[in-house]
Chain A
Amino acid sequence: MYWMMWQGDPMINRYVQEYVAPEVKKRFDINLKPVPGQGNEVVKVLMAEQEAGVNHSAVDLCWINGETFFQLRQIAGLYGPFTDKLPGIQYVDLENPFIGTDFQQKTDGYECPWGNVQLAVIYDSLRTPAPPRDLASLEQWLREHPGKFTIPYDFTGMTLLKSWMIAFGGSSEILDGPFREDLYLKLSGELWGYINRNKSFFWQKGTTFPENLAAMHRMFANGELDFTFSNNHNEVDNKIGQGVFPGSARSYVFDSGTIRNSHYLGIPAKSANKAGAMVVADFLISPEAQLKKQDPGVWGDGTVLSLSRLPAGLREQFTQARRGSHAPDPDSLMKRALKEPAPEYMIRLYRDFRTFIIEK
């Protein structure tokens, strides 16, 4: 069984190769082979297979996010609905808008929630004892610390921009529902105005932006930048654990909130091992596998399980697992959680960031 997944983090790779694969082999005699590929790569592989008219996909399970789900649904690349066949789905709160809805799209059983995280800002509490908590104070901070802040031109950067766009809109629900051109133009106009007004105080005077988070993390670690970001609020813990970030690193979210979303497991429509893929997906959402994944020493990925649905003993274990974290507590995070807007916002932001910021 081939599982196409992002393999850019050694801790995640270890979780899959040293825990998940041996466990599914031992319990179900499934030979699970992780293969590299994420986002658009998954779409490209499945599109190429459809165009070539192959009967059996080379991929049986894939790790996907909202924008990939949107693209795969456009090309009818996913098998489903299947989540109602998973026994473990009983512990997953599909009514939770951060889990059962993906980029404003109902998942409709075509993808299984696997992890739930929130965009966080990471800073060094020794270097920056009082980080800016909203866009106004960030503007002030940028003027006092030129060159020490930037935005990655990637998925995480665009997620941050969506959070800021919602902040300009003044309501956490302003971007709920289908894409609206008029709203996008209004809010993105304010966003581009804000960035252009301040970008001369950005890293490299805002003439260029890091291509990915790895570059941001590296520059944060060597002191070139005072902030980096993560789509996983707990990543600060595992990066401290790896010795990449100093022990004084912390994560937080802006007062106006940040996007919270889930990542999912999808089964390609042409997978020859759909039953096996469902067995693996069910194992991955089991309390045991989710608890292990939540441990910052393993990965630090947020769970999709509803703790209230779990037996008391298991619930306590999930609560205990968060002790000693350098990330904000779950309640304060949830208070500042924003829903993912429709995928078209991401597509437009990505294109317009180039037009109105990079090339301006």
Chain B
Amino acid sequence: MSGGYRGLFYGISLLPLLAGTVYALAYSLGLAGIGAPAFTTGYWALVLQSPETWISLLLSLAIALAVVITAVPVALLLVLNYSEVLENPVIRYLLFLPVSVPPLIAAFMGTEWLGAGGMTARAALVATGGVMPSLINNYWHAGIFITLTFMSIPFLTILLWQYSRAEKLSGLAELATSLGATRRQILFRVAIPVLLNRALPQIGLMFVFLFGAYEVPLLLGMQSPRMISVLIAHKFSKFDLADIPHAYALTVLYALVVSIIAWLVSRTNREAA
């Protein structure tokens, strides 16, 4: 990339993000905004001392991790066992459909399927006569986990299938077989490492996307604990103007965590390369 294009790239992709973060930092330090009280670290002290901040961050990390840990093996299983089925364009089109569903719609569908009055509960009632507990708004955040996992699996399946073709995985498997590798060795020493190595940046990005998911946890989660995105949005949008600097401090913290995750992913990727 030439210097000019690189500058344009950074200008478009990084400058707005950086400007927004600087503004958020200034707001959280009392240096910007209507009625800003002049420099203060008070908002940050409150945010950092609040257990809710750390619980929300940990909850977001835990849910994102749980979804990735569940969705990646399922997608690998589908790609490695049903690659012929995935050659069918109709099947791939059907996989694209859930990928194109906006998170808000997915959240509503989660409500319709997983709520106490939803399809799953009704089916359980018909099949067993027993009442099935609601899977949404519950302590284990099951509704968020299930919905985000179902949103992630089709995306990962399509992604890994395309990489399996790009990496000529079937050729590599044949070569390994001719060299005497067992099916298990091909799977764990060739296919899975090749695919994961190639898809690691996208899986990392997916982790960031899941970490910052908003609509699904808003509609299917509990009020407490709540994921970090919901906590920030509530601080911004409720009735107390005095909460806005806290919301900006949380935004900066969130940006910091996402930057660390992105850095870790890129570092791991460089090492793998």
Interface residues of A (CB under 8 A from B): 39-41, 43-44, 47, 50-51, 67, 71, 74-75, 153, 204, 207-211, 215, 218-219, 222-224, 343, 346-347, 350-351, 354, 358-359
- B-side contacts of A75, CB under 8 Å: 34-35, 241
Known pairs A51-B33, A67-B239; list 12 more (Cβ under 8 Å): A39-B239, A40-B238, A40-B239, A71-B241, A153-B223, A204-B134, A204-B138, A208-B224, A215-B111, A222-B117, A224-B116, A358-B223
The residues of A that contact B238 with a CB separation of less than 8 Å are: 40, 350
> Which chain A residue has the least Cβ–Cβ distance from B121?
A224
Contact of B236 among A40, A209, A359 (CB under 8 A): A40
Closest to A44 in B: B236
**In the complex, B210 has a CB within 8 A of chain A:** no
Is A51 within 8 A of B34, CB to CB?
Answer: yes
> What are 27 pairs between A and B in contact, CB < 8 Å?
A40-B236, A40-B238, A40-B239, A44-B237, A47-B33, A51-B34, A67-B239, A75-B35, A75-B241, A153-B223, A204-B137, A204-B138, A208-B137, A210-B137, A211-B218, A211-B219, A211-B223, A215-B111, A215-B219, A218-B111, A219-B117, A222-B117, A224-B116, A224-B117, A347-B239, A358-B224, A359-B224
Interface centre among B32, B35, B222, B239 (most CB of A within 10 A): B239
Residues of B within 8 A of A204 (CB): 134, 137-138
Judge whether B115 is part of the interface by a CB distance below 8 angstroms: yes
Task: Tell me whether B240 is interfacial, beta carbon within 8 Å.
Answer: yes
- Minimum CB distance partner of A154 in chain B: B238
Contacting pair B115 A224 (CB below 8 A): yes
A92 to chain B, nearest CB (A): 27
Chain B, residue nearest A360 (CB): B224
The complex places the Cα of A209 from the Cα of B237 at a distance, in Å, of 18
Interface positions, chain B 214-245, Cβ under 8 Å from A, are 218-219, 222-224, 236-241
Give the residue name and chain of the B residue nearest to A67 (CB).
Answer: B239
Partner of A223, one of B111, B117, B224, B241: B117
The answer to whether B218 and A346 have CB atoms under 8 Å apart is no
**B223 lies within 8 A of A208 (CB):** yes
Q: Which A residues are in CB contact (< 8 Å) with B117?
A: 219, 222-224
Q: Does B263 contact A (CB under 8 A)?
A: no
Contact A207 B222 (CB under 8 A): yes
Q: In whole angstroms, how far apart are the Cα atoms of A227 and B223 in the complex?
A: 20
CB contacts (< 8 Å) of B137 on chain A: these are 204, 208, 210
Task: Give the CA-CA distance A350 to B238 in the complex, in Å.
Answer: 9
Task: Give Cα A204 to B111, complex, Å.
Answer: 15
Closest to B241 in A: A71
Contact A47 B223 (CB under 8 A): no
| Distance from B99 Cβ to chain A, minimum over Cβ atoms (Å) | 26
| Cβ-closest chain A residue relative to B237 | A40
List the B side residues contacting A209 at CB < 8 Å.
223
Give the Cβ gap from A33 to chain B, nearest Cβ, in Å.
Answer: 23
B251 to chain A, nearest CB (A): 14
Contacts of A39 on B, CB cut-off 8 Å? 237, 239
Max chain A CB contacts within 10 Å: which of B115, B137, B218, B237? B137
Nearest chain-A residue to B137 (Cβ)? A208
Measured in the bound complex, the distance between the Cα atoms of B33 and A51 in whole Å is: 6
B139 proximity list for chain A (CB < 8 A): 207
Instruction: Report chain A residues within 8 Å CB of B224.
Output: 208, 354, 358-359
B257 to chain A, nearest CB (A): 23
Instruction: Report if A50-B34 is in contact (Cβ < 8 Å); known contacts: A40-B236, A219-B117, A359-B224.
Output: yes
- Least CB distance from B126 to A in Å reads 15
In Å, the complex CA distance between A219 and B35 comes to 42
Fill in one digit per residue for B137-172: 1 if any A CB lies within 8 Å of its CB, else 0.
111000000000000000000000000000000000
State the CA gap A71–B236 with chains docked (Å).
13
Which B residues from 113 to 136 make CB contacts under 8 A with A? Answer: 115-117, 134
Q: Contacts of B116 on A, CB cut-off 8 Å?
A: 219, 224
Task: Point out the residues of chain A lying under 8 angstroms from B236, CB to CB.
Answer: 40, 44
Q: In the complex, how many angstroms separate the beta carbon of B28 from the nearest chain A beta carbon?
A: 14
Partner of A350, one of B34, B218, B240: B240
Asked whether B241 lies within 8 Å of A208 as measured between CB atoms, the reply is no
Chain B residues contacting A41 (CB-CB under 8 Å) are: 237
Q: Using CB atoms, name the residue of chain B closest to A75.
A: B34
